[in-house]
Structure 1
Amino acid sequence: MFAAKRASKVLLGSAVSAAAVFGAVSMVNQSRDTNTLQNDVSVSTIKKSNVDLPSRANLLSRLSKTDKFDVLIIGGGATGTGCALDASTRGLNVALVEMNDFASGTSSKSTKMAHGGVRYLEKAFWELSKAQLDLVIEALNERAHMLNTAPHLCKILPIMIPVYNYWQVPYFYVGTKMYDLFAGSQNLKSSYLLSPSRASEVAPMLDASKLKAGLVYHDGSFNDSRMNSSLAITAIEKGATVLNYVQIKQLVKNKETGKVEGAIAVDRETGDEYQIKAKVVVNATGPYSDRLLQMDQSPTGLPDDSVLQKINENATVSTKIAVPNPKMVVPSAGVHIVLPSFYCPKEIGLLDAQTSDGRVMFFLPWQGKVLAGTTDIPMKQIPENPTATEADIQDILKELQHYINFPVKREDVLSAWAGIRPLVKDPRKADSGSGSTQQLVRSHFLFTSPSNLVTISGGKWTTYREMAEETIDEVVKVGQFNSKPCVTKKLKLVGGENWNPNLSALLSQKYHLSSAMSEHLANNYGTRAPLICELFNEDPRNKLPVALAGQENVSVFGHVDYDSFRYPYTIGELKYSLKYEYARNCLDFLMRRTRYAFLDAKQALNAVEGTVKVMGDELGWDSKKRQDEIQQATEYIKTFGV
């Protein structure tokens, strides 16, 4: 972005440098009046709606001072935050606690697709399974709701199935048309057939000599962890008390009836304990569900960690076990890798429907890169930090090489990770020990234990909203609440209010941003983006990449890491995440509020110290805390395939 040979010095802290980095776009005279559209992204309106957002200290105070909540939700992933939003909009007094960060587990490690599942439709056909078909129809309906409620985070993505045998052309064509049909009025766009030559033009990286056709259908692509944090923040704005880094230590039970009446929680930042009373408690901890169920079965509500402590006695960060020998969750690891953009068309995804071992592989454009995956590896225990092994990475690369007509190289892998996908089975039924998967629930699973603990598990990202609706229906029944009806089908999440597709252009015009920066902000923050732009205006240093935080006085080009400018993650964006999105540590920002480490782990490593510098200054960290943060973030990001 810079030419070092043309100049010898630059004052990076100056407004001139910031303008050079991000580019000041020329204003084009418009033939139509844009005042109405600009009102949609009015800074004053957006600021007014955010002024009342409570601080973490205020939320903790509310947690301690509330005599009894209507519902306590344990778990801050997609399902938990979805439940908090649903319950709060029905008029219930809601508390949610998450022991780590929002989307710190499975909810940030998905395939980033809002989809019905073409493979489930195929299974429904061949197995004559109504359950599989119902799952597809349910997900197709919910896909439309995701695109509507978070239009800045969820986009329509065409996906092409390369066809290499003539007999497969009618088979896949009928399949994609059936996919359209079952979507009904919620269908995004009609599927269509491409000739071999047209398919090669769309995806020149494919081997054209083998192509017989291309089938294109449409699904949704979204930013999973930002969707998760948006659910949490929207729930807070609707009155819920939602907190990350608060861990459940014990379930509180009535001594006479044995019913769960709340929990004792610990603020992991301060060590302070809180006794949270609630009429109904929800277990929405995903892969960790069995741990809460074990606590539920204990008369004291305490976990038995003796086995866990023995297993983890000499474990490393990547080998620690979170839940040994789960009884309800049947875990498997889904592995994904991120590659440069030339591995896939920029505007269309690819689906390999027939891999060498029968699995389905996706290669999708995402955040300017290519997301490839996934493997499906059965596991017996649930790790604390699942990681992608070198064998997993090579497995995906090997499959990719089958139809890419240039060398697939290991050094092209920018990041790699693993997430736990929980299939579930009813823990109340005896396990035959045969290893059969017949008892597995392919959709989500909801039940209430004799102690009135409501547990929701399984399912997938696309169906989070319906899972939440069914869960809160059960909560209303258990708690005998007189609540309002569910409204989440049409409720806009933060950033989706008053959104329009011209937002990127309006940001570029009003704040003189480059098109790349305005698109980044519009697509990740929606109508909240002007808050970040105002931070740019307040201090030009806020436009700098986070990797350069603390280096404002560097004046010689040779001392600057120019790769930092390839990514749009700025000091201003970091300050916004601290003030408005409850980011509490370095990884919260680099992995979940932004997707830096998921997109390029090596470059994210270079941004750790700058991120810690800004967060330390804003949150008042001492030198030890800063060093601990640098060490922990560095160790964790290094597990992402670098």
Structure 2
Amino acid sequence: MFARGGKFIPKALSVAGLAGVGTLAVQHYNESRRQQILRNEVPQVSIVQKPNVTLPTREELLSKLQKTDQFDLLVIGGGASGTGCALDAATRGLNVACVEANDFASGTSSKSTKMAHGGVRYLEKAFFELSKAQLDLVIEALNERGHMLESAPHLCKVLPIMIPVYSYWQVPYFYAGCKMYDWFAGKQNLRSSYLLSKSSAAELAPMLDESKLKAGLVYHDGSFNDSRMNSTLALTAIEHGATVLNYMKVKQLIKDPATEKILGAVVENRETGEEISVKSKVVVNATGPYSDLILQMDRNKDGFPDPAPPQPDHVSIANEVAVNKPEMVVPSAGVHIILPSYYCPKTVGLLDVKTADGRVMFFLPWQGKVLAGTTDIPMKTVPQNPTASESDIQDILRELQHYIKFPVRREDVLSAWAGIRPLVMDPRKRKEKNGGGTEDLVRNHLIFTSDNGLITLAGGKWTTYREMAEQTIDTVVKQGGFHVKPCITKKLKLVGGENWDPNLSALLAQRYGLSEAMAIHLSNNYGTRAPLICELFEQDERNQLPVALGGKENVTVLHHVNFDSFRYPFTIGELLYSIHNEYARKATDFLMRRTRYAYLDAANSLSAVEGTVKVMGDELNWDAAKRQQEIEECTEFIKTFGV
């Protein structure tokens, strides 16, 4: 799995050690050795260009946050909506600050179904309920799906999805639905849907029970890496002049003493405890499920949130409550699990159109594994760290067993997590109707401006983040009286997508002698920024090692090597890149969001915690106490992912 492995592995491991690594590493060694010989004999012309990029350091961004007398816009929240707003505003010429209390995509934005889609179930509802609002939502999302694939071609890919059909009467029904889905996408349609015979469907998905199959319908949507998309939005906004910072928590809204109009916020640097007063002409609340916390600050004269209810000392990380009585957000938990790749075709997803509770459920190939979900469990509070319950995991496994002809085992669950799906209710309607009902829920997004001038963006879904941001910044421009350039995000390439070529993985393999698996991993996650990581591989052979071996001084001693770590392509070089180029500040940032290691295999990722902390500690000058704290916190958090 490692870059230039033929050059490094013989120095690091004995022949016996190579045998222990397994077939994959040996195959990589042989392949890389052949590539080395070819490079020595045949002159190579490099096509891959190392990008000339210099991003401001975190210290420089902090300095700008402190020294700027007044920003045009302060965005609270660094998820998809918040970073999308920061990017849109910055490219229009506004001076923007965006602060996130934790890490980019640390909440809902990293826990989606990883699909850029219009929503086939919404289309069905639109026709059965004769709902123009539902239809508009589908058309909007289908249009934005195309923009996602265009703006980040390295992170977003077209994914065929098959609907297994088990009754003959469903064939024309599903076929018509898929064709309508294509038609409403218009010029943004990805590829035409098509019908498969029973035998063809069984050949495509041999894990399905052929005796029950009648046919298969295949349509197309997009699949993407959500947390990497989120950090990419943050980086792109920074490149366009925005001041975007993670681990900066809003403690208080600054208000005009006379009018209570919002003038900015007091922000705490969570790494140092230092507080900074950030003045801004307009403030946007883009905190997703936690929108009510900022709305409490807006409502209270002193700008502080409501006092948090007391919690017992024994409350675990999985049970901490962030919002006790949400008023705008109507939260529900969506649970996903990760399974080995043999539960689904490697290039085609599966859609269960009717689960026991009436929802649809997806089984999708993702990052070399299978992602299954999602559930929909109503909640009365918004937890700080939602987790998947065992009953939720079992529900998904039972649903999958209806289709799979071999045993579906609990021990095959590599990771499980829960995300908060924030349906929202317009606070004005809730107030007018003394509470309101579920019929008043907004199924897409809501942009709400309070009496004090706070603009709140809530609801919606990942696929429509760009349009949500555009509409929000339109509101900001109107409220602030700004004269700006037009919105350009429909055509804007995100970081890593500039000059992207579908042959990038091949070019990386040729230029840097990477294995096919490593080349694909880097090109699909970093796009045209991948050469920056490859350069780190060439600068120091140790950067090619798995991150689990970070800090190991003598890897020639076989008992020091965790051979399980060779199963995944996450290296010390990639970690160094994330620290210095993507603002990773904690071990969880790297293991869960810059890479998806813990999402793909929670138990295996635990073996990489100490190595990750060792490398980060050396780079960020952590003392021994800080390193131990990071190891304990990261380990505890990963263990909530179904381990």
- TM category (shorter chain) comes to over 0.9
Query: What is the Cα deviation at residue 518 of structure 1?
Result: 0.4
What is the aligned partner in structure 2 of residue 390 from structure 1? 390
3-state SS in 2 of match to 1:102: coil
Residues 267 and 277 in structure 2, CA contact (< 8 A), matched pair in contact too: yes
| Paired position in structure 2 for 1:26 | 35
- Measure, in 2, the Cα distance between the counterparts of 1:128 and 1:214: 27
Partner of 1:624: 625
Q: What residue is the counterpart of 2:59 in the other structure?
A: 57
CA apart distance, 1:475:
0.2
CA deviations on 1:85-143 (whole Å, 9 max, x unpaired) are 00000000000000000000000000000000000000001000000000000000000
Residue 601 and residue 25 in structure 1: after superposition, are their counterparts in 2 closer, same or farther (change >3 A)? farther
The residue number in structure 2 matching 1:266 is 268
Mean alpha-carbon deviation: is it higher for 553-562 or for 349-358?
553-562
Corresponding residue for residue 335 of structure 2: 335
What amino acid does structure 1 have at the position aligned with 2:410?
A: R
Alpha carbons of 1:470 and 1:204: their partners in 2 closer, same or farther (altered >3 Å)?
Answer: same
Report if aligned partners of 1:330, 1:424 keep a CA contact under 8 Å in 2. Answer: yes
1:41-440 alignment, distance < 5 Å: 41-43=48-50, 46=51, 48=52, 50-51=53-54, 53-305=55-307, 308-311=308-311, 313-430=313-430, 436-440=437-441
Q: Distance in 1 between matches of 2:634 and 2:317?
A: 12
2:478 — aligned with what? 477
Q: CA contact under 8 A between 2:430 and 2:436: conserved in structure 1?
A: no
Match of 1:573 in 2: 574
Check the 8 A contact 1:596/1:604 in 2, yes or no: yes
Percent identical: 70
Q: Residues 312 and 321 of structure 1 are in contact (CA less than 8 Å); yes or no, is this contact kept in structure 2?
A: no
The alpha carbon displacement at 1:19 in A equals 7.3
- Aligned-pair CA distance for 1:437: 1.1
Please state how far the C-alpha of 1:311 moved relative to its aligned partner.
Answer: 3.7
Distance change >3 Å, CA 119–CA 10, structure 1 → 2: closer
User: Which whole-Å deviations, capped at 9, do the CAs of 1:564-584 have from their partners, x for residues lacking one?
Assistant: 001000000000000000000
Q: Could you tell me how far 1:552 is from its partner in structure 2?
A: 3.9
Cα shift readout 1:199-243 (whole Å, capped 9, x = no counterpart): 000000000000000000000000000000000000000000000
Partner of 2:97, secondary structure, is strand
Matched, 1:600 2:601: yes
Q: CA deviation at 1:63?
A: 0.3
Q: Deviations over 1:266-314 (max 9, x none)?
A: 0000011100000000000000000100100111111122xx2414654
**Deviation at 1:561?**
1.5
Do the aligned residues in 2 keep the contact of 1:98 with 1:245 (CA within 8 Å)? yes
Q: Distance in 1 between matches of 2:371 and 2:453?
A: 41
Displacement after TM superposition at 1:550 (Å) = 1.7
The one of 11, 15, 24 equivalent to 1:7 is: 15
Cα displacement string for residues 71-97 of structure 1 (whole angstroms, at most 9, x for unaligned residues): 000000000000000000000000000
Q: Is the 8 A contact 1:11 1:555 kept in 2?
A: no
Quickly say closer, same or farther: Cα 1:507–1:294, change in 2 above 3 A: same
Question: Once the 2 structures are TM-superposed, how far is the Cα of residue 558 of structure 1 from its aligned partner?
Answer: 4.4
TM-aligned CA deviation for residue 356 of structure 1 = 2.4
| 2:49 counterpart letter in structure 1 | S
- TM-score, with structure 2 as normaliser: 0.94
Distance 1:337 1:255, change over 3 A: same
113 and 22 in structure 1: CA distance in 2 versus 1, 3 angstrom threshold: farther
1:256 offset after TM fit, Å? 1.8
Distance 1:631 1:25, change over 3 A: farther
Q: Is the Cα–Cα contact under 8 Å of residues 99 and 245 in structure 1 kept in the other structure?
A: yes
What SS is found at the alignment partner of 1:263?
strand
Task: Give the letter for the 1:390 counterpart.
Answer: E
Residues 145 and 9 from structure 1, CA distance in 2 versus in 1: closer, same or farther, beyond 3 angstroms? Answer: closer
The corresponding residue for 2:5 is none
Contact 2:14–2:556, Cα closer than 8 Å, also in 1? no
CA contact (8 A) 1:152 1:526 kept: yes
TM-score by length of 1: 0.95
Counterpart of 1:586 in structure 2: which amino acid? A
Looking at structure 1, the residues matched to 192 and 29 of structure 2 have their Cα atoms a distance apart, in angstroms, of 43
- 2-side partners of 1:246 and 1:550: how far apart? 29
Instruction: Using the TM superposition, give the Cα deviation of residue 612 of structure 1 relative to its aligned residue in structure 2, in angstroms.
Output: 0.2
Taking the aligned partners of 1:340 and 1:9, their CA distance within structure 2 comes to: 26
- Quick check: 1:18–1:543 contact (8 Å CA) kept in 2? no
Q: Report how far residue 403 of structure 1 moved.
A: 1.0
Query: RMSD of aligned C-alpha atoms?
Result: 2.3
Instruction: Write the distance in 1 (CA, Å) between the matches of 2:318 and 2:143.
Output: 37
Q: Distance in 1 between matches of 2:17 and 2:506?
A: 32
Question: 2:4: which partner in 1?
Answer: none
Gaps of 5+ in 2: 2-8
Q: Which moved more, 1:237-246 or 1:545-554?
A: 545-554
Query: In the alignment, is the contact (CA less than 8 A) between 1:24 and 1:513 conserved in 2?
Result: no
Report deviation, 1:560.
2.1
Residues 149, 34 of structure 1: alpha-carbon distance in 2 compared, 3 angstrom cutoff? farther
Contact 1:81 1:232 in 2 (8 A): yes
Whether contact under 8 Å (2:592, 2:599) holds in the other structure is yes
Supply the distance in 2 between the matched residues of 1:325 and 1:24 (Cα, whole angstroms). Answer: 61
Residue 10 of structure 1 contacts residue 556 of structure 1 at CA under 8 Å; is this kept in 2?
A: no
Equivalent-residue separation in structure 2 for 1:467 and 1:275 (angstroms): 28
SS in 1 for 2:310: helix
